[in-house]
């Protein structure tokens, strides 16, 4: 019989000064926290066979980043950049350069905890205008200085790491203005450095802030919403938690302007055309390798949160749940907005965390046939016109019940999820303080691939002892969906983590999925890219690279596999 106990670790909630390693791996807001609750803590202790004593000595990494990594860029170059953007907008201190080179990936956090500083840029400059960006690119191209772009620092694919050093453009300081708002066309044009909350606030308050008749929403809410930039969404092909209704970023972008080494490249605002190849989709996802995004026009939607309808269900099996999920996406009555289906392990984990596990409600559910490690949780919302959201909810209800689902809506499961949708990642810090890593990998599947990919990845992960592997589908289309894997392990050193991560990437690849649905490729997944898209596709990417960036100054060093090193190819980067 389980022992009741009251111990809870003393999760760190003290100050995290700017300049420390902790400030760099902490999720977004230095003053915000979300700690594992009792249910989650118990699950971790049980899974990793730990005792309360193991949670007594956190490793906090509150030591400051020291000035041991001098810039390799000639002082003369830095002086020229200062002439362009102003001296106050040029930074060569190690902390800033590290901040604009590492992202929010687990490998970044692990390296920061080990004080490993590598592949950082030599100088970070914050341009104030597109014209300044033009001048910097021209200067860097003439002098063969590499160039990366920093937006919100939320990359989880080593997207802005700078193995070749050089300049980094920090778009988050000044390049965040609204350039145009067109209410007739329902579009907004912004500079790329603006963050999600600022854009959303402007649109929600469009009458007050833009002189509009109505209120709008951008409809794009990635988990990194609070600290990711619109530019980052575009160049990595991001998605938001409501993208099943609002569309992925490639569906939201109407037109774009890039400054490239060979000139300014603009696409046009017409919603569709038959004027030859369309180039929006080769700039979206170019991950900084072709040029710097300087303006983007996005479609916007009416902001009507009062129309939102919520639903949640429990299915008896993963198979039933996936069948219902697919039937909804192919039902031709409109798409849900949030639409999130958890596999049995994720469902059971959620039930433990929310204290439903072993409760009277759980007993009742089991009697009705909703068994642990078989049952699956589906939650979601509908957005849009009121009659439309009601219709979608009614149809979703109907399909789910036909597949034997139990209606959970009265328990407000979706509302609970919404409450923590952007804050869960704060728990990463707490876990890592005690040597536990929680990380994610994701991919896209066609419907007929889904079970194969899910089974194959799980089989691989579960071969490893004491490893949690949760999966959900959170973005769907009539022809397929994403699969999002969350794994939790105890680690001793970085390679424990990498062995698992690289192994999962191998399984994703060999089972036929696309290597990413919305995280992008960066330098981390680059070694797997050609294996998925093929040699001819890769050659075409090289042709485009050659066209836009003949001197390979734009985000060089392996992003998208364009100039991948032998070390990267072998799926191993050594750590300095």
Smallest distance, a copy of itself to C-beta of residue 215, A: 13
By the 8 A CB rule, do 93 and 159 touch? no
3-state secondary structure of 490: strand
Q: Enumerate the H helices of 259-343 as residue ranges.
A: 280-283, 318-329
Q: How far is the CB of 452 from a copy of itself (least distance, A)?
A: 12
Q: Which two tokens stand for residue 206?
A: 């469009």
Is 184 or 373 the residue whose CB approaches a copy of itself more closely? 184
Binders in 244-273 for a copy of itself, by CB under 8 A: 248, 250, 254, 262-273
Q: Closest approach of Cβ 384 to a copy of itself, in Å?
A: 4
Q: CA-CA distance, 496 to 57, in Å (whole number)?
A: 21
Q: Output 322 or 405, the one with its CB closest to a copy of itself.
A: 322
Binds a copy of itself (CB under 8 A): choice among 211, 332, 373, 410: 332
Give min distance, CB of 120 to a copy of itself, in A.
24
Question: 406 or 477, CB closer to a copy of itself?
Answer: 477
Among positions 520-539, residues that touch a copy of itself (CB under 8 A) are: 520-521, 529, 532-534, 536-537, 539
Q: For a copy of itself, what does the binding mask look like between residues 302 and 321, x meaning CB under 8 A?
A: x-------------------
Q: Binding segment for a copy of itself among 45-53, 330-338, 369-377, 408-416 (CB under 8 A)?
A: 330-338
Our CB check for a copy of itself shows the closer of 229 and 349 to be 229
Among positive and negative, which fits the CA dihedral 347, 351, 352, 357? negative
Helix, strand, coil in percent for the chain, rounding step 5 = 40, 20, 45
Exposed e or buried b for every residue in 157-183, given b needs 16+ CB within 10 A? bbbbbbbbbbbbbbbbbbbbebeebee
Helix 344-353 and helix 38-47, axial crossing angle in degrees, nearest 10: 130
In the complex with a copy of itself, which residue's Cβ is closer, 112 or 300?
300
Mapped onto helix, strand or coil, the DSSP state of residue 372 is coil
- Which residues within the stretch 276-295 sit at the binding site for a copy of itself (CB under 8 A)? 276-287
Residue by residue, DSSP assigns 550-567 as TT--BS-SSGGGTT--HH
- x/- string (CB under 8 A) for a copy of itself, residues 445-484? xxxx--------------------------x-xxxxxx--
- Which of 164, 228, 162 is CA-nearest to residue 197? 228
* Cα end-to-end distance, the chain, whole Å: 48
Interface stretch with a copy of itself, choices 31-39, 237-245, 310-318, 362-370 (CB under 8 A): 237-245
Pairing of strands 123-125, 167-170: parallel
Q: How far is the CB of 538 from a copy of itself (least distance, A)?
A: 9
Smaller CB distance to a copy of itself: residue 220 or 248? 248
| Residues 232/155, Cβ–Cβ less than 8 Å | yes
Assess contact for 467 and 502: CB atoms under 8 A: no
Those residues with Cβ within 8 angstroms of residue 1's Cβ, 6 or more apart along the chain or in another chain: none
Q: Pick the closer one to a copy of itself by CB: 139 or 477.
A: 477
Restricted to residues 139-198, the positions that interact with a copy of itself (CB under 8 A) are: 182, 184-187
Tell me which residues in 380-439 interact with a copy of itself (CB under 8 A): 383-385, 387-388, 391, 394-395
Q: Which of residues 484-523 bind a copy of itself (CB under 8 A)?
A: 513-521
- State the nearest-atom distance from the C-beta of 188 to a copy of itself, in Å: 11
Least separation, in Å, of the C-beta of 153 and a copy of itself? 18
- The distance of closest approach from Cβ of residue 356 to a copy of itself in the complex, given in angstroms and rounded to an integer, is 33
Q: Which is nearer to a copy of itself, 379 or 443 (CB)?
A: 443
Count residues binding a copy of itself (CB under 8 A).
Answer: 90
**Which residues within the stretch 88-117 sit at the binding site for a copy of itself (CB under 8 A)?**
none
The helix/strand/coil state of 359 is coil
Q: Which is closer to a copy of itself, CB of 73 or CB of 483?
A: 483
Sheet (strand 263-266) strand order? 178-182, 187-190, 292-299, 253-260, 263-266
The interface region with a copy of itself, picked from 5-13, 162-170, 325-333, 410-418 by CB under 8 A, is 325-333
- Supply the minimum distance, in Å, between the C-beta of residue 179 and a copy of itself: 16
Helices (H), 309-449: 318-329, 344-353, 360-367, 386-402, 413-419, 427-433
Mind giving me the DSSP string for 334-348? Answer: ---SSEEEE-HHHHH
Residue (111 or 523) nearer to a copy of itself, CB: 523
Closer residue to a copy of itself in complex, CB, 30/544? 544
Degrees to nearest 5, angle at CA 16 with 15 and 22: 150
Nearer CB in complex with a copy of itself: 347/444: 444
Which residue lies nearer to a copy of itself by CB, 278 or 493? 278
Q: Based on the shown chain and the rule CB under 8 A, indicate whether residue 359 belongs to the binding site for a copy of itself.
A: no
**Residues 362, 348: Cα–Cα separation, whole Å:** 11
- Evaluate whether 399 touches 320 at the Cβ level (below 8 Å): no
**Residues 45, 485, 232, 526: is their CA dihedral positive or negative?**
positive
Query: Which span sits near a copy of itself by CB under 8 A: 51-59, 223-231, 340-348, 378-386?
Result: 378-386
Q: Between residue 554 and residue 573, which ones bind a copy of itself under the rule CB under 8 A?
A: 560
CA distance 507 to 514: 11
């Amino acid at each position: 019989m389980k022992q009741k106990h009251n111990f809870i670790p003393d999760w760190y909630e003290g100050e995290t000064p700017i300049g420390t390693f902790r400030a760099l791996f902490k999720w977004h807001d230095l003053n915000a926290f979300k700690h594992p609750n009792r249910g989650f803590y118990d699950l971790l202790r049980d899974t990793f066979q730990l005792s309360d004593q193991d949670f007594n000595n956190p490793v906090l990494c509150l030591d400051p980043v020291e000035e041991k990594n001098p810039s390799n860029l000639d002082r003369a170059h830095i002086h020229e950049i200062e002439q362009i953007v102003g001296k106050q907008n040029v930074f060569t201190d190690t902390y800033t350069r590290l901040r604009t080179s590492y992202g929010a990936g687990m490998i970044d956090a692990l390296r920061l905890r080990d004080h490993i500083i590598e592949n950082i840029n030599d100088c970070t400059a914050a341009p104030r205008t597109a014209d300044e960006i033009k001048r910097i690119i021209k200067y860097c191209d003439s002098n063969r200085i590499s160039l990366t772009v920093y937006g919100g620092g939320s990359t989880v694919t080593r997207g802005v790491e700078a193995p070749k050093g050089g300049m980094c453009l920090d778009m988050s300081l000044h390049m965040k203005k609204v350039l145009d708002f067109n209410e007739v066309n329902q579009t907004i044009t912004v500079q790329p450095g603006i963050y999600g909350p600022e854009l959303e606030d402007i649109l929600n308050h469009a009458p007050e802030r833009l002189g509009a008749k109505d209120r709008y929403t951008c409809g794009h809410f990635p988990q990194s919403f609070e600290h990711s930039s619109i530019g980052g969404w575009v160049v990595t092909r991001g998605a938001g938690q409501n993208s099943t209704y609002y569309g992925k970023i490639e569906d939201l972008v109407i037109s774009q302007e890039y400054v490239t080494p060979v000139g300014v490249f603009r696409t046009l605002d017409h919603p569709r055309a038959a004027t030859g190849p369309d180039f929006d989709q080769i700039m979206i996802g170019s991950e900084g390798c072709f040029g710097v995004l300087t303006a983007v026009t996005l479609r916007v939607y009416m902001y009507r949160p009062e129309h939102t309808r919520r639903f949640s269900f429990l299915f008896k099996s993963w198979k039933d749940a996936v069948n219902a999920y697919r039937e909804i996406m192919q039902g031709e009555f409109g798409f849900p907005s949030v639409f999130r289906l958890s596999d049995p392990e994720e469902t059971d984990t959620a039930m433990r965390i929310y204290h439903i596990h072993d409760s009277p409600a759980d007993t009742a559910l089991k009697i009705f046939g909703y068994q642990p490690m078989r049952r699956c949780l589906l939650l979601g919302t509908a957005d849009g016109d009121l009659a439309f959201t009601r219709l979608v909810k009614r149809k979703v209800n109907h399909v789910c019940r036909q597949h034997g689902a139990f209606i959970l809506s009265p328990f407000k499961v979706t509302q609970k999820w919404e409450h923590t949708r952007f804050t869960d990642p704060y728990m990463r810090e707490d876990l890592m303080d005690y040597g536990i890593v929680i990380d994610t990998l994701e991919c896209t599947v066609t419907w007929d691939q889904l079970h194969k990919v899910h089974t194959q990845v799980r089989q691989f992960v579960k071969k490893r002892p004491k490893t949690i592997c949760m999966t959900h589908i959170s973005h769907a289309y009539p022809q397929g969906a994403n699969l999002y894997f969350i794994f939790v392990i105890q680690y001793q050193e970085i390679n424990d983590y990498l062995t698992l991560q690289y192994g999962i990437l191998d399984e994703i690849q060999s089972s036929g999925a696309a290597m990413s649905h919305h995280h992008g490729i960066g330098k981390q997944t680059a070694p797997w890219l050609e294996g998925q898209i093929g040699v001819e596709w890769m050659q075409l990417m090289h042709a485009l690279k050659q066209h836009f960036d003949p001197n390979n100054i734009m985000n060089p060093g392996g992003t998208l596999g364009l100039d991948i090193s032998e070390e990267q190819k072998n799926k191993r980067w050594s750590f300095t």
